[in-house]
Structure 1
Amino acid sequence: QKSAHWISEVNVKIESEVTEELINIQSVEIKLKEENEISDLMRHKRIHTGNNLYKCRQCSNAFSKKRCLIFHQRIHSGEKPYQCIQCDKVFSQNSVLTRHMRTHTG
């Protein structure tokens, strides 16, 4: 009977530790979600305040995301790194190539 009581205490301790660990994981997940939301909010605020971090050196355009600046700079450079394998047309953005590929499949 003493060993049964000891096993019960161990089970309670393990359950308590597992519960505590789950709570810690959930609080970290919540914190990460909040940080992402804050980051998104800050980026969105820059749209309205004009404090965009990524400015084009060739014109007056500015962007809140680096990838948007990179896409924009391809307008100035004429760079079109995405090529259709069926008709050899080239595009500055992969998403435009993807949309174009649908013209070949009907």
Structure 2
Amino acid sequence: AGTVTDRWILHNLNETRAKVTENFDKFEFGVAGHILYNFIWEEFANWYVELTKEVLYSDNEDDKVITRSVLLYTLDKILRLLHPIMPFVTEEIFGQYA
């Protein structure tokens, strides 16, 4: 089930994916890039990564496993959404963590 924070980021990721895909389909790459930028910095980095530190440093192994999975899943989806805009950068990052 994960924490409330895990469910929050997954919900926002799905909303972001839908908006980015819609704008890619309309060839609005600048708008798609702006949506991704805001999600990555404002929601993922500024909030989710910061809020997960408490879980990752806790003694609750079940929550740690789920949170790590959500972190990696979200990073994977971010890279996939960025790939049409930044293919070489995303391939390099995929190569480092895959």
- Scaled by the length of structure 2, the TM-score of the pair is 0.31
- Report the structure number with the largest CA radius of gyration: 1
More helix by share: 2
- Scaled by the length of structure 1, the TM-score of the pair is 0.29
More strand by share: 1
- With CA pairs under 8 Å and 6+ residues apart, which has the higher RCO, 1 or 2? 2
